[in-house]
Chain A
Amino acid sequence: MSQESNNAPHDVLLRLEAVDKTFTMGEVEVLAARRVSLDIRAAELLVMVGPSGSGKTTLLNLVGGLDSPSAGRLFFRNREMTAWSQAELTQYRRDSVGFVFQFYNLVPNLTAVENVMVATELSRDPMDPLDALTKVGLAERADHFPAQLSGGEQQRVSIARAIAKNPELLLCDEPTGALDFETGKRVLRLLVDLRNEFGTTIVVITHNTAIAGAADRVVHLRSGEITELERNERPLPPEEIVW
């Protein structure tokens, strides 16, 4: 079978074809993704919603090249990711993807700016780490260690780290989950601006359905399956969203 997918539409950045993912937890097998097929279009803000255990994070990890599917195929710009070597996957994560983790995943003994530098040091054309922190409103906390930052601040460092390398694809796992209402909205605004300004493709997973209002498209997940794919004709500006 050809590694190229010729019939992919022009604006598709990433395609999932009948993707399965099974985890073995001790003696139990868990099917976290079940025959998921989905196109992620360039420069869209895609929100995936679903209750916990619905397979949101699993899909995000597969898309980000952090995990490999048990069955099915993934394509990035028409190139089959599932055929990539570890080195190619590493290169993909390094050059094309930015991650915002649910639990921030900051390196505890590095300061905020150093945590951003962890990403920029690898990147070919990164932002200045301090600029990235300024964008998330944390310039004055640059020299604080994670333990000295609040949850919201840590999340913003995590976002700064993700955007600092100017990725094509930004993957956010519950980016507002640990934040208060106002900070959450600011973070959302940041993401929308990023999409508007740089054309970054953004995938956000959340169980906060209100956020879906700002999305171009919304994917509903349950038990590892897509139950509904919704197109948002008029996305709301983040300021108008209430939760």
Chain B
Amino acid sequence: MSILNRKLVRELRDSWGMLLAIVSIIAVGVACFVAMGSSYGNLQRSKQDYYDQCRMPDFWIDLKKAPLAEIEALGSVPGVAAIRPRIRFAATISLPDVTKPLNAMVLSMPDRREPVLADIVLRQGGYFTDRRENEVIVNDAFARHHNLAPGDWIHLVLNNRREELFIVGTAIASEFAYLLGPGAIVPDPEHFGVFYLKRTYAEGVFDFDGAANEVIGRLAGTNEAERAVHEARVLQHAERLLQPYGVIATTPLAEQVSNQYLAQEIEGLRIFALFMPAVFLAVAALVLNVLLSRLADQQRMVVGTLKALGYSNAQVFVHFLKFGTTVGVIGGLTGCAAGYWLADAMTEIYREFFEFPNLVSHFFVGLHGTGLAISIACAVVGSLRGTRAVLRLEPAAAMRPKPPRQGGAVLLERLGWLWTRLSSGWRIVVRSTVRSHTRTAAGVFAAAMGSAVLVSGFMMAKATDYLVDFQFRWIQRSDVDLVFKDERDADALDEARRLPAVDAAEPVLNAAGTFYHGHREKKGGITGLLPGARLTVPRDRQARAVRIPAAGLAMSRTLADILDVQPGQSVTFRPAKGLRRERQVPVVEIADSYMGTAVYADIHYLSRLIGEEFAISGVQLAVDPRPMQVDALYRELRELPALQGIHSRHDLIAKIQETVIEHMAVFIGFLVLFAGVVFFGSILNASLVSLAERQRELATLRVLGYGPWQIGSLMLRESLIVTLAGTLLGMPLGYLLTVLMALAYESEMFRFPVVSGPDVYLATLVLGLVFTLLAHLFVQRSIHQTDWLEALQAKE
């Protein structure tokens, strides 16, 4: 090893404390980059493979009922590559030892195995056989949760009849990679399952001979761009063609629920993979800059001597650069290893949410290489300034002691009345903070980034809580929702009121249809409620109840924006069922919601709109919460064949709590850890550098009678000023960041509320201070260990 390299190794060893701080910050940055990037790659790759394997459709069209012959015509529309009609219904499941309501989606599949659109991937057992009509394939997660296996029998209520089905296999499918039950935002495989029936059996049981109520299709074209060209035109064409049969919804792939959640997650990873590392690596570069400037400064004499001995500028430059590069390499490698491990853990979490045939953690060589390169680049950039400053000096000048720093008055001193009230300790602190402006700026920047990360993390946690409260406690207030297979009259409501444990029952009417306003149109539906309904309460942005108008609509802001309609204007609504007569409907109120594009109307008004006297499609119940009572209700409900769905709000919230909120806690934990590394690392580094720079000054203070704790207090006060300034600056930054993230995540289906509060900022401030104090413990130890007599004699 060359002598200069030997010198380098010893210097690295001697300043390990400061280096550790920087290495950790770089490592966190690279780990984020690699983890998010790998997860992105893992999900993206698995998704693509899965979509190809299952022949994922490009569009879904929900119909009331259409003859197969008519649907076939769609296959010859230009731009359509393939279609498949199928039968799709909601159903309830009854399992012998489960009292809670279980809901199902039932889909038809060809009787014999053949390559079809929206195919399934078998996990256990096999495909349908010729032995029985009533064979069923169950989605794998539901089967796992209820210990169902091929060879078991299961009961489903299909078309008002309780049917016994024989399980031949379990399967997963790409269109349900993220499987949501009605109204849910997280998968709940315990309470919701998908069941595949033989086509001929489904036709019989639902009275759908030679008919279907859903068409799925693929568009012509080899890539997304080509298919996108066809999409709008094909869907319009299809709608015209199938109009007589009641088009309830047309869903392009981009709006398909599972795909949308998956795409959003993937996009989120991409954003995070770029943003988070950028923050950490910028901080690391700045902190390294401070350290290297100090190191180069401290080695003026050595630099001068090396040059006097005949070392060229390039040789000296490379020597100092190696210092930064080593830091970059160590940080990068640590980050890559940590990132790979994190990606593995994240992929494990994704397996809980997403059902994939083959979601494993891959090792992306390019990504790790890029992570390493970025970390080295950032370390080198961080090293440049300090190194260059020394190189610019002539060797003779480098060997002369550095001229004393200019010691003019700082701005604060002009505020005479304040300055004179400051103790000499505070004056030292203020002057030192102001004069080492690069170091102070680096510290403030680091603290600001740490604080921004914390604020946005806490705001996200708060937003999740708020969203759940808003959606499932304030808007939806019922305990149990019953959905009928067909529309019913007022008698059904009376029946529901007589069920055990029911405290209150309110009717609901859901009418699917299309809204038109000017050249804009949007498929959706209207929810009819009783005026003054208490179990579903539309809200405005401030969570105040929105009145349901006697005539007209209370429309969600998202839909109003899509249709570009203001309160007081009218839209055209064409129901998908019944007479399908277009009607002009005034928009009276605007309601807010973070999910979907709900529209509310008075149930009587809506009934008339679809040409009925008084129709209900479901009932919402407020229920006596005692378990015995609830069980009694559930037992009774199981005997009602006319129900298409039974939804418990408690189960829904419990599931959200269990998955989203727990994972949010892990996520926040990581953010706090990462932010802590930034605070701790930058403060530790800045303090140690300051300590080294001011040895003589502080030694003089020691001689004058200052104790180690008093010296420490000077350093601590500087750190606190920096932390405080940075944390406060970072708060609006964090808020802004959350707003940007909410915008990035915004979709028709889902919006992220921006909620903050004093607790967010207080927690950030407290954490910032705690990390600063932790870093100061190390600084204080270093102060106690310094030999001040030696420091006093040392010449700079």
A interface, CB within 8 angstroms of B: 25-26, 61, 64, 66-68, 86-87, 90-91, 93-95, 97, 99, 101, 103, 105, 107-110, 114, 117-119, 121-123, 161
Residues of B within 8 A of A117 (CB): 3
**Most chain-A Cβ atoms within 10 A of its Cβ — which of B4, B306, B396?**
B396
Contacts of B304 in A (CB 8 A): 66, 105
> CB < 8 Å: which of B302, B311, B394, B403 contacts A66?
B394
Min CB–CB distance A94 → chain B (angstroms): 3
Residues of chain A within 8 A (CB-CB) of B191 are none
Query: How long is the Cα–Cα vector from A108 to B6 in the complex, in angstroms?
Result: 12
Among B7-15, B131-139, B161-169, the one that faces the other chain is B7-15
Cα distance, A213 to B304, chains bound together (Å): 32
Distance, CA A58 to CA B302, complexed state (A): 19
Partner of B10, one of A25, A101, A105, A109: A109
The count of residues in chain B whose C-beta lies closer than 8 Å to any C-beta of chain A is 28
CA distance A59 to B63 in the complex (A): 98
Chain B nearest CB, measured from A210 CB (Å): 27
Inter-subunit contact B14/A67 (CB<8 Å): no
6 further interface pairs, Cβ-Cβ under 8 Å (given A97-B310, A101-B308): A67-B395, A67-B396, A86-B313, A99-B308, A105-B301, A107-B305
Cβ contact within 8 Å between A91 and B310: yes
Contacts of B6 in A (CB 8 A): 110, 114
Cross-chain pair count, CB within 8 angstroms: 79
Distance, CA A82 to CA B282, complexed state (A):
43
Task: Answer yes or no: B399 CB below 8 A from chain A CBs.
Answer: yes
B666: interface (CB < 8 Å): no
Cβ-defined contact, A122 with B795, below 8 A:
no
B305 pairs with A101, CB closer than 8 A: yes
Cα–Cα, bound, A66→B403 (Å): 18
- What are 29 of the A-B contact pairs (CB < 8 Å)? A61-B395, A61-B396, A64-B308, A66-B395, A68-B394, A87-B312, A90-B307, A91-B310, A93-B308, A93-B309, A93-B310, A94-B311, A95-B310, A101-B308, A105-B305, A105-B308, A107-B305, A108-B302, A109-B11, A109-B14, A110-B3, A110-B6, A110-B10, A118-B4, A119-B310, A121-B3, A122-B310, A122-B311, A123-B310
Chain B residues with Cβ under 8 A from A110's Cβ? 3, 6-7, 10
Residues of B contacting A66 in the complex (Cβ-Cβ under 8 angstroms): 304, 307-308, 394-396, 399
Q: Could you say which of B10, B302, B309, B397 has the most chain A C-beta atoms within 10 Å of its C-beta?
A: B309
Chain B residues whose C-beta falls within 8 Å of the C-beta of A121 in the assembled complex: 2-3
Cross-chain contact A107 with B302 (CB below 8 angstroms)? yes
Q: Measured between alpha carbons, how far is A99 from B396 in the docked complex, in Å?
A: 12
Within 8 A of A (CB), among B13-37: 14
Min CB–CB distance B485 → chain A (angstroms): 83
Query: For residue B4, which residue of chain A has the nearest CB?
Result: A118
With a cutoff of 8 Å between Cβ atoms, the chain B residues found around residue A67 in the complex are: 394-397
Per-residue CB contact flags for chain B residues 282-317 toward chain A (1 = under 8 Å, else 0) read 000000000000000000011011111111110000
The answer to whether A90 and B311 touch across the interface, beta carbons within 8 angstroms, is yes
Q: For residue B306, give the distance in angstroms from its CB to the closest CB of chain A.
A: 7
Contact A101 B399 (CB under 8 A): yes
Contacts of A161 in B (CB 8 A): 309
Residues in chain A near residue B395, CB distance under 8 A = 61, 66-67, 93
Measured between C-beta atoms, what is the minimum distance from B162 to chain A in Å? 85
Closest to A114 in B: B3
Contact, CB under 8 Å: B307 / A93: yes
Hey, which chain A residues are within 8 Å of B302, CB to CB? Answer: 105, 107-108
Question: What are the interface flags for B399-413 relative to A under an 8 Å C-beta threshold, 1 for contact and 0 otherwise?
Answer: 100010010000000
The answer to whether B306 touches A118, judged by C-beta atoms less than 8 angstroms apart, is yes
Q: Closest 9 A-B residue pairs measured CB to CB?
A: A94-B310, A67-B396, A66-B396, A61-B396, A105-B305, A109-B10, A66-B395, A93-B310, A90-B312
